[in-house]
């Protein structure tokens, strides 16, 4: 067993940490206050090869492993979870299925420009009445001459207000089964798409949309893969991404702990520093222990991805522990800061709002517990 990062992985961490400090951090406060994402960030990510982390060099990617992907997520989320969420929705969910199942033409038109940050991607899966039950999607795609006519609705879709294209999941048959779900590449704007920006408590700078779809036409050459062959790709993508968003949660938790340590060392109450009080010391000690445990579970999950042995239950364990750790750490950070913790000049309130996103998004903690319990064969 080897619990060390390679020299190359440490170099990735150093590079991303410097980039986040110099290029991202100065933009975060304004982006959060205005709830707008700075689109130019995608080109900067593309120039550094950060959008192609999980793709082979032969396909235009950076050819890195999942451990490196999680390092990048952790460091980005340490500075801004909103920026990291937009990066993740684009670089993984929005283009990974195109890389896996797209035609050469689809890769040239969408995948390669997305790797360069020239086009922004979104992934349209969640729906108002469906929740986490992917098989029950209601958005319908009907075959018409030259393409498909799509009707339905999507909600909580990251990047959709600024996206140049969206990977959209729709039902091609009324039967509720995996074979009836297909993915379509929808170029935006599209006359049949009405995208409304949502106001959020967490990840405010990551633009999110509610989408109404009425008679939207998508040509045949924008159907991804065979009509009945993309449901397994969706599941595969979501399972790996749970390890990824666990790394996002790890970054938030670390940021909350470091802010708490800094505040405890500097803030004086009378003749004593906040960090002199045992109650505060215990809170930070608990953070340190839980974050260390979550860290190694996250990178164990990444190692499983790299060794092609990741299973759904393990991905759920990783995501559950990391997201709940981030939630507890960020709440304690606010308590440690006292009144300052609810002031926007301090970042810990933002950390907590952002941590709440990942006990809900990418499968709630309750869904993760259901999947873990199912693997234990507890019910008959």
Q: CATH number, domain at 52?
A: 1.10.540.10
Regarding whether 143 and 82 lie in a shared domain, the answer is no
Instruction: Write down which residue in 185, 211, 228 finishes a domain.
Output: 228
Question: How many whole angstroms separate alpha carbon 136 and alpha carbon 133?
Answer: 6
- Known catalytic residues are 362
pLDDT for 233 equals 85
Residues 306 and 207 in one domain: no
Residue pLDDT tens, the chain, 380 long = 788 999 999 999 999 999 999 999 999 999 999 999 999 999 999 999 999 999 999 999 999 999 999 999 999 999 999 999 999 999 999 999 999 999 999 999 999 999 999 999 999 999 988 766 777 889 999 999 999 999 999 999 999 999 999 999 999 887 777 678 899 999 999 999 999 999 999 999 999 999 999 999 999 999 997 655 678 888 888 888 899 999 999 999 999 999 999 999 999 888 899 999 999 999 999 999 999 999 999 999 999 999 999 999 999 999 999 999 999 999 999 999 999 999 999 999 999 999 999 999 888 999 999 999 999 988 76
CATH of residue 368:
1.20.140.10
3-class secondary structure per residue, the chain: CCCCCCHHHHHHHHHHHHHHHHHHHHHHHHHHHHCCCCCHHHHHHHHHCHHHCCCCHHHCCCCCCHHHHHHHHHHHHHHCHHHHHHHHHHHHHCCHHHHHHCCHHHHHHHHHHHHCCCCCEEEECCCCCCCCCHHHCCCEEEEECCEEEEEEEEEEEECCCCCCEEEEEEECCCCCCHHHEEEEEEECCCCCEEEEECCCCCCCCCCEEEEEEEEEEEEHHHEECCCCCCHHHHHHHHHHHHHHHHHHHHHHHHHHHHHHHHHHHHCEECCEEHHHCHHHHHHHHHHHHHHHHHHHHHHHHHHHHHCCCCCHHHHHHHHHHHHHHHHHHHHHHHHHHHHHHHCCCCCHHHHHHHHHHCCCCCCCHHHHHHHHHHHCCCCC
Does residue 281 belong to any structural domain of this protein? yes
- Are residue 216 and residue 170 in the same domain, yes or no? yes
Does residue 72 fall inside a structural domain? Answer: yes
- Residue 105: the pLDDT is 95
- Specify the pLDDT at position 269: 86
As a dihedral over the C-alpha atoms of residue 216, residue 219, residue 221, residue 226, rounded to 10 degrees, the angle is 60
pLDDT at position 228, please? 53
- If asked whether residues 76 and 146 sit together in one domain, one would say no
200 and 247, same domain (yes or no):
no
Entry pTM: 0.93
The answer to whether residue 360 sits within a structural domain is yes
Shared domain for 197 and 248, answered yes or no, is no
Angle formed at CA 151 by CA 199 and CA 107, multiple of 5 degrees? 85
Neighbouring residues of 156: CB distance < 8 A, sequence distance ≥ 6: 126, 198, 208, 210, 361
Give 21's Cβ-side CA count (13 Å radius): 7
194 within 8 A of 211, measured Cβ to Cβ: yes
204, 228, 252 - which closes a domain: 228
Within-domain flag for 22: yes
pLDDT the model gives residue 333:
98
* 316, part of any domain: yes
Same domain, 237 and 205: no
Same domain, 219 and 258: no
Percent of the chain with pLDDT over 70: 97
Distance CA 292, CA 92 (A): 26
Let me know whether 327 and 306 are in one domain. yes
- Residues spanned by the domain of 87: 7-115
**31-50 burial, b for 16+ CB within 10 Å, e for fewer?**
bbeebbbbeebbeebbebbb
Domain boundary residue among 70, 85, 115? Answer: 115
Structural domain contains residue 31: yes
Number of structural domains in the chain: 3
**329 and 246 within one domain:** yes
Q: Does 1 map to a domain?
A: no
CATH, residue 209? 2.40.110.10
Are 107 and 125 contained in the same domain?
A: no
Say yes or no: 368 and 239 in one domain. Answer: yes
Beta carbons of 8 and 19 less than 8 angstroms apart: no
Tell me if 380 is assigned to some domain: no
């Amino acid at each position: 067993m080897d619990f060390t990062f390679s020299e190359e992985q440490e170099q990735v961490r150093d590079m991303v940490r410097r980039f986040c400090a110099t290029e991202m951090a100065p933009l975060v406060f304004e982006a959060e206050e205005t709830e707008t994402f700075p689109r130019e960030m995608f080109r900067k990510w593309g120039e550094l090869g950060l959008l192609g982390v999980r793709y082979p060099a032969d396909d235009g990617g950076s050819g890195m492993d999942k451990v490196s992907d999680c390092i990048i997520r952790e460091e980005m989320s340490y500075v801004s979870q909103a920026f990291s969420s937009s990066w993740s929705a684009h670089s993984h969910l929005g283009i990974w299925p195109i890389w896996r199942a797209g035609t050469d033409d689809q890769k040239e038109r969408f995948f390669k420009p997305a790797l360069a940050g020239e086009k922004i991607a979104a992934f349209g899966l969640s729906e108002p009445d469906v929740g986490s039950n992917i098989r029950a999607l209601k958005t319908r795609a009907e075959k018409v001459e030259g393409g498909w006519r799509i009707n339905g609705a999507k909600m909580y879709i990251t990047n959709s207000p600024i996206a140049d294209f969206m990977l959209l999941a729709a039902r091609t048959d009324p039967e509720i089964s995996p074979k009836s779900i297909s993915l379509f590449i929808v170029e935006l704007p599209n006359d049949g798409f009405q995208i409304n920006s949502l106001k959020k408590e967490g990840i405010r700078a990551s633009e999110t949309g509610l989408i109404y779809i009425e008679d939207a036409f998508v040509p045949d050459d924008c159907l991804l893969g065979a009509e009945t062959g993309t449901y397994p790709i969706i599941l595969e993508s979501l399972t790996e991404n749970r390890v990824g968003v666990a790394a996002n949660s790890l970054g938030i938790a670390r940021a909350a702990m470091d802010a708490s340590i800094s505040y405890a060392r500097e803030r004086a109450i009378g003749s004593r520093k906040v960090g002199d009080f045992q109650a505060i010391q215990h809170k930070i000690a608990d953070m340190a222990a839980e974050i260390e445990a979550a860290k190694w579970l996250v990178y164990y999950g990444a190692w499983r991805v790299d060794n092609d042995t990741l299973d759904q239950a393990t991905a759920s364990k990783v995501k559950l522990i990391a997201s709940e750790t981030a939630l507890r750490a960020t709440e304690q950070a606010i308590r440690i800061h006292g009144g300052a913790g609810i002031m926007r000049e301090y970042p810990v309130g933002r950390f907590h709002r952002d941590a709440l996103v990942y006990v809900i998004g990418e499968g709630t903690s309750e869904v993760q517990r259901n999947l873990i319990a199912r693997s234990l064969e507890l019910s008959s």
